[in-house]
Amino acid sequence: MELWYTEEHTENVRFSIKVKEHLYTAKSPFQTIDFFSSEEFGTFFTLDGLMMVNEKDEFIYHDMITHVAMATNPYVKKALVIGGGDGGTVRELTRYPGIETIDMVEIDEMVVRASQKYLPLTASQLDNHRVNLYFEDGIRFIHGKKKEYDLILVDSTDPIGPGEGLFSKAFYQDCFNALTDTGILINQHESPYYDRDVREMKRAHNKLKELFPISKVYQFHMPTYPSGYWLFGFASKTLDPLKDHQREAWEELGLDTKYYNSDLHQGCFSLPSFVKNMLEE
Ligand code: SAM
């Protein structure tokens, strides 16, 4: 008998992966967590039936959430990851020797513990001595903080369930307050393709545009997310990811990255016309 994992990308579109083994299932107080093994994508995990991370394409997401900001400000000392329970974003941040402190606030400790067991390479740096783990709601954690972080990476689920508030204007305002003057916020910006994702993309962008003097959007290719076409938002009080791009300083670090590179840094902000138009609406 064949076992398939199927995710509804829209009411009319489904995406399926042939499963070798259903490794783990649990209901946490926040969501349903599942881990599977597969031939094509290796081990992958889902929350409430939505793909989060898999061994094959996680490098794309984690490179792009981290290195675009770090190549704009390679002098980040204190970083905050909100969500990101699989550990991939923290792993990329720990590759920068200049970062002194990485706080990670994940609402669901069960995601972290299961990732450490089933995705050990992704979660490999969660016990790094520079990393502090907080198991609480990121929305509450950030509230009231003032100019504390040089970088905030919002590695969240979609705007449903516990991740919903991570797309609110009040949360973005709290991030603004928690950032230093050269601080950078990277957030999930959903996708410009299917209607539901477009709605969330526009909502996130309009809120960020109102708060941050610099608010841009960049794209990357994510084979297992709906439509395969995904976006992050880059927001800052002062740094522009293109004008302030520190190409040489970043290249001197000698990091070997599988997706990100300096040419892509410039290119990923060049958006197709239909996306530009939607973001301006
Ligand atoms: N790369 C993934 C994606 O876009 O599909 C994101 C994966 S990461 C595992 C998302 C994490 O955000 C989840 O583990 C979830 O528990 C966490 N999360 C959701 N809402 C949160 C909140 N309000 N505070 C902190 N963490 C939250």
pTM assigned to the model = 0.97
Alpha carbon distance 254, 245 (integer Å): 16
Please say if 155 is a catalytic residue: yes
Centroid of ligand 1 to alpha carbon of 243 (angstroms): 31
Domains and CATH numbers, the chain: 3-54 (2.30.140.10), 58-280 (3.40.50.150)
What pLDDT is recorded for position 161?
A: 80
Q: How far is CA 141 from CA 51, 74, 83, 119, 178, in A?
A: 26, 25, 11, 26, 10
Alpha carbon distance 162, 85 (integer Å): 13
What pLDDT is recorded for position 6?
A: 97
Nearest to 122 by CA among 31, 24, 43, 26: 43
**What is the per-residue pLDDT across 234-250, written as a single tens digit (0 to 9) for each?**
999 999 999 999 999 99
Kindly state the tokens that stand for 223. Answer: 């084979």
- Closest atom, ligand 1, to C-alpha of 30: 16
Q: Which of 155, 158, 174, 197 is catalytic?
A: 155
Report the side by side order of strands in the sheet with 131-134.
131-134, 101-105, 78-83, 149-155, 179-188, 229-236, 214-221
**What is the per-residue pLDDT across 180-191, written as a single tens digit (0 to 9) for each?**
999 999 999 999
Centroid of ligand 1 to alpha carbon of 165 (angstroms): 11
**What is the per-residue pLDDT across 155-174, written as a single tens digit (0 to 9) for each?**
998 887 888 889 999 999 99
- Closest atom, ligand 1, to C-alpha of 50: 5
Centroid of ligand 1 to alpha carbon of 87 (angstroms): 11
Kindly state the tokens that stand for 74. Answer: 């390679």
Q: Three-state DSSP class for 114?
A: helix
pLDDT over 90 (residue 133) = yes
